[in-house]
Structure 1
Amino acid sequence: MTGVELAIHGGKPVRDTYLPYGKQTIDEEDIQTVINVLESDYLTTGPSIKSFEDKIAQYVEAKYAVAFSNGTAALHAACFAAGINRGDEVITTPITFVATANCVLYQGGKPVFADIDQNTYNINPLCIEKLITKNTKAIIPVDFTGQPVDLDKILDIAKRHNLIVIEDAAHSFGAEYKGKKIGALSDMTMFSFHPVKHITTGEGGIITTNNEKYYQRLIQFRSHGITKNPMHMTTSDEPWYYEMQFLGYNYRMTDIQAALGLSQLNKTGYFLARRRQLAKMYDETFKNISEVVTPYQLPECHSSWHLYILRLNLNKLRVGRKEIYQALLQENIGVNVHYIPVYYQPYYQELGYDKSFCPQAEKLYEEMITLPLFPGMNEKDVEDVVTAVQKVVKYYGK
């Protein structure tokens, strides 16, 4: 029988319309805020950017925030500010989007991949420590799905080995670690504002930090390495004078993006509460289905639930993840996979990375599937996802 078992024996799909795994939530306030900027004098390098940075810093209780055109640019800037150069090694997780590791390569450094914890799916601190060498410069832990990493252990390792921690918190805006919001605990923290994230600026990213030196470097890096600050220039005799002091990039955020972000920030509380509510609904249903494993949550953390990862119990299924994935798509459920281990990518294979490097990460990759989760979902959407999963795993169960 073909066509994904003829859509499970020719039955009607659970949904008539496609439900994506993630989607932005935009309202009239957001639209009007952007229109106001379009009608103003500043479309870029204007006041909305500083206002957005200040509001983000205040929200995460950090001293400084620097906005960028996207999250990748922000991570690149953080690697620069940390002084990562050719020959430096940076330890990170393979279960992340490629940008996390690519930003190390941009600076001439070498990403070193540490395996994950089999329960949390986050980078395993024990594996980090085993990989530290005299060339190790930094650690980039990733708060996968929105659950914070074990920061106490990671920060302790960094302190003992004089390493910089750049937290990739693209998934964890609004998350809490032991009662404190993510954003001011690591040396630098990156948040992403892509449309599927907790708040959006269309594209956009930001670095938060308590370190003034990093702050100044980030500001300059995002604007070609140029400064107009007389205190930092070699000479400042002419009033129009500016200096390019190192090779920076044009990574600036626009006021259009920042204005949308400011409006979205007003809804952060609702967005987070809704994501947590939807995740709880999934948990309560899937915990009773033996063919799948629900995400484990650390009791001392408060996830922001960017993604809901369902792990397949392949011992109780007649097929692999591919067949389950295709069958759910036939039901109009927009599943996804986050992520292919970074070193599986052809470019990283050409760099000499082994494909049998992090066994826990590789095992997770074969078994995980991402379900739809975004604030615009209603109860019927959740019921449809649950019904589709139940239908598919029951059909393919042993």
Structure 2
Amino acid sequence: MAHGLPIRPPRQPVHCSASARPHIVTPAAVPAIRPDGLTMTNPHAIPRSAPARAAESLYQRHRRFRSARSRKRIDRVVFAPERIRQAELDRIAQLVGPDATNPDELRPLLEMLVAARFSQKHVRTVGDWITALQIGLALVGVRPGHRVAMSSYTDFSHVVAVWRLGAIPCFVDIDDANLQVDPQALRLRFRTRDGGPIHCLLLHHLGGSPAGVAAAAAIAREHEAAVVEVVWGTMPPRYGNRPAGSVGDVVCINSRPEGSPNRRSIAFVGTDDDRLAERLAEWLADPASDDWPTAARQFGASFDPDTRRPDPLAVTRTVIQLENDDARLPRRQEIAATYNAAFSGFPELGVPREQASDVHTWNLYPLQLNCNRLPVSRKAFRAALEARGVETRTHYLPAHTHPALRIVTGEDDPCPVARRTFAREVSLPIHDQMTDEHAAFVVQAVVDVVCRASLRPETLDVP
């Protein structure tokens, strides 16, 4: 008995008659015993007891499991990373541990880092995203009854911030080439005086793209309107040598990039204007000061102490995000280049466009379906990708289609291009935790769906 497993002792050689070949059972025929008590497979081994066979079966299953893990077979790619990396968890424990610095003391450092990255003289942290948008709009003089021009193809939180201030959103159609505000449609909005002049332009860097933002800001300057830029993520897009936030009077920054998991985040409000910075500091220190509450409190736009004070864990996560942004951006750019190279040759697909002088941060990868060449709906296309293990999303539902906003604007369909773009847009996974194998898996799934849909649409749901 060794390690609880019975082993028969080796038999002595048995010599038969001269006419018969000797049958020898040698010690080599005895099943070898591993240090952990499991026996190794030997086709010439003598019969073993039931516990030994069970142990052998368990060992073989363990070997097959280890072999499958070593191959790293990919069967699913999620749209956004679901788990925090162990290195980030260790860094969080270091920053918020018993011997660490108070997270409130990290806020000045955090504001300084964000100001340097966005080339802003003054940056202040705010604990709530919609509150930060309200502050940014109020700083440039938006008051109840004022009209704010904005893209209809944007996150609905931007509309909520305008609505809570008592202002009126004035939606502008987009250019289907870069999904940003169409310059011609914007000029038409400024020239149309129905309902009063436009006081402010709210510009959203959709998906981390800087395309068309500088041109739209120049049009607003021609009509003496203020400009508020909106950036998602702490890595700013760049148009030429200028980072996002340098063409507007105020920039509002959400620390959570578009498409990322919906975890706690903080927001920033930045400006280069010293006068606006003084007013911002006064509002954050005393919400009852100036004309902010009296003008907007009746519309629900008031400061809550909890929203003015950022969450300590969110502050810590943002510090870690700033530390890792420089390494994450090249990974997303490589994945976007892989997608562009793979999908550019398919007339059924439209890839995002970018200018050589701009830096795209690729928070989203909006793939456009050519409905004239692809005989399937977007719903069927996404279902086929999901069946192949690729998770997708859609961005953004045009805000002008909301029934309540349609009543306010008085227009049935002011943005037809935004509505058509949303009907054919599919956002593919793109994040820094994806490897080259994940990107190839997504490309193979998309190409397979396109080829099957073009040849035999009825077999589309079969992986």
After superposition, the C-alpha distances for 1:297-340 in whole angstroms (9 at most, x for unaligned) are: 12331111110011001111112211111211222211110011
Q: Secondary structure at the match of 1:191?
A: strand
Q: Which has the larger displacement, 347-356 or 147-156?
A: 347-356
- Structure with higher Rg: it is 2
- The AA in structure 2 aligned to 1:105 is W
- The AA in structure 1 aligned to 2:79 is Y
Change (3 A) 1:377 1:358: same
Q: Secondary structure at the match of 1:112?
A: strand
Q: Find the aligned partners of 1:172 and 1:317 in 2 and give their Cα distance.
A: 37
Instruction: Find out whether 1:208 has 2:265 as its counterpart.
Output: no
**Aligned partner (choices 67, 77, 80) of residue 135 of structure 2:** 77
Instruction: Find out whether 1:150 has 2:212 as its counterpart.
Output: yes
Task: Quote the residue 2:36 is aligned against.
Answer: none
Cα pair 1:199 1:264 within 8 Å, conserved: no
Task: Quote the residue 1:184 is aligned against.
Answer: 246
**Aligned partner (choices 149, 152, 160) of residue 94 of structure 1:** 152
Change (3 A) 1:354 1:131: same
- In structure 2, runs of 5+ residues without a counterpart are 1-72, 291-300, 456-463
Cα pair 1:77 1:222 within 8 Å, conserved: no
Greater length-normalized contact order (CA 8 Å, ≥ 6 residues apart): 1
Q: Find the aligned partners of 1:287 and 1:87 in 2 and give their Cα distance.
A: 46
**Aligned partner (choices 290, 299, 302) of residue 359 of structure 2:** 302
Q: Secondary structure at the match of 1:315?
A: coil
Q: Which has the larger displacement, 381-390 or 133-142?
A: 133-142
Q: Find the aligned partners of 1:331 and 1:151 in 2 and give their Cα distance.
A: 37
**Aligned partner (choices 1, 21, 25) of residue 79 of structure 2:** 21
Task: Quote the residue 2:223 is aligned against.
Answer: 161
Instruction: Summarize the alignment of residues 15-164 of structure 1 with structure 2, pairs less than 5 Å apart.
Output: 17-23=75-81, 26-35=84-93, 36-37=95-96, 39=98, 46-132=104-190, 133=193, 134-164=196-226
Cα pair 1:43 1:254 within 8 Å, conserved: no
After superposition, the C-alpha distances for 1:236-259 in whole angstroms (9 at most, x for unaligned) are: xxxxxxxxxx95333221332222
Change (3 A) 1:247 1:74: closer
Change (3 A) 1:142 1:254: same
- In structure 1, runs of 5+ residues without a counterpart are 1-14, 233-245
Q: Which has the larger displacement, 183-192 or 95-104?
A: 183-192
Task: Quote the residue 1:10 is aligned against.
Answer: none
How far 1:205 moved relative to its partner? 1.6
Q: Find the aligned partners of 2:233 and 2:175 in 1 and give their Cα distance.
A: 17
Task: Quote the residue 1:342 is aligned against.
Answer: 399
Cα pair 1:71 1:192 within 8 Å, conserved: yes
Task: Quote the residue 2:370 is aligned against.
Answer: 313
Cα pair 2:234 2:322 within 8 Å, conserved: no
Task: Quote the residue 1:366 is aligned against.
Answer: 423
How far 1:269 moved relative to its partner? 1.0
Cα pair 2:258 2:364 within 8 Å, conserved: no
Cα pair 2:254 2:267 within 8 Å, conserved: yes
**Aligned partner (choices 249, 254, 258) of residue 304 of structure 2:** 249
- TM-score computed with the length of structure 2 as normaliser: 0.73
Q: Find the aligned partners of 1:216 and 1:39 in 2 and give their Cα distance.
A: 35
Q: Which has the larger displacement, 309-318 or 169-178?
A: 169-178
Task: Quote the residue 1:238 is aligned against.
Answer: none
**How many percent of aligned residue pairs carry the same amino acid?**
20
Change (3 A) 1:197 1:56: farther
Q: Secondary structure at the match of 2:80?
A: coil
How far 1:84 moved relative to its partner? 1.2
Task: Quote the residue 2:280 is aligned against.
Answer: 218
- The AA in structure 2 aligned to 1:121 is L
Q: Which has the larger displacement, 146-155 or 386-395?
A: 146-155
Q: Which has the larger displacement, 263-272 or 371-380?
A: 263-272
Task: Quote the residue 1:243 is aligned against.
Answer: none
How far 1:49 moved relative to its partner? 1.2
Cα pair 2:181 2:216 within 8 Å, conserved: no
- TM-score computed with the length of structure 1 as normaliser: 0.84
Q: Secondary structure at the match of 2:232?
A: coil
Cα pair 1:312 1:368 within 8 Å, conserved: yes
CA RMSD of aligned residues (A): 2.7
Q: Find the aligned partners of 2:422 and 2:167 in 1 and give their Cα distance.
A: 26
Q: Which has the larger displacement, 318-327 or 28-37?
A: 28-37
How far 1:38 moved relative to its partner? 5.0
Q: Find the aligned partners of 1:25 and 1:195 in 2 and give their Cα distance.
A: 16
Change (3 A) 1:197 1:175: farther
